């Protein structure tokens, strides 16, 4: 499965500091064990960064705009678990939100939520992958 990245995220994917991505739902959802072709550049002619195997997939729902309060991000093993009533699945603390945002390539949680709002991404999958095998290696 292909996964493309904006230019600002590509160096972090290449050096391994970004190993996760929030993605909108697809007709064929990502699954653990899938092989990802990680790409950068324009959609019409993307350049292969390398390949990696999906190690974890979580469903997510986010409430925008960000307001520095608990319960802004909900993670679950299955999409059917994305119930607002299941408070055990909320990312509980600001520090947890900050760690997720930084792992996704953002300096601060506010930048992360601003990006999600800009691209209108409020529900989908959080995809995490293992070591990258660089193209041509």
Q: What is the pLDDT of residues 120-132, one digit of tens each?
A: 998 999 999 999 9
Residue 44 pLDDT exceeds 70: yes
Residue 28: predicted pLDDT: 95
Q: What is the pLDDT of residues 88-134, one digit of tens each?
A: 566 767 888 899 999 999 999 889 988 998 999 989 999 999 999 99
Q: Looking at residue 69, which CATH number applies to its domain? A: 2.30.130
Cβ(113)–Cβ(94) below 8 Å: no
Write out the residue range of the structural domain in which residue 45 sits: 2-134
Tally of domains within the chain? 1
Please list the residues that pair with 73 across neighbouring strands: 62
CA distance 36 to 54: 7
Residue 69: predicted pLDDT: 60
């Amino acid at each position: 499965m292909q996964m493309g990245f904006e230019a600002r995220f590509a160096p972090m994917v290449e050096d391994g500091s970004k190993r996760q991505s929030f993605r909108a739902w697809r007709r064929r959802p990502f699954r653990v064990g899938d092989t990802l072709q990680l790409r950068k550049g324009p959609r019409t002619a993307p350049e292969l960064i390398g390949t990696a195997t999906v190690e974890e997939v979580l469903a997510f729902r986010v409430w925008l705009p960000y307001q520095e309060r608990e319960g802004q991000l909900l993670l679950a093993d299955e999409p059917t678990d994305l119930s607002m009533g299941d408070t055990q699945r909320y990312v509980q603390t600001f520090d947890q939100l900050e760690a997720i945002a930084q792992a996704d390539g953002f300096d601060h949680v506010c930048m992360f939520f601003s990006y999600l709002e800009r691209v209108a991404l409020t529900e989908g999958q959080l995809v995490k992958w293992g070591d990258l095998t660089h193209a041509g290696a």
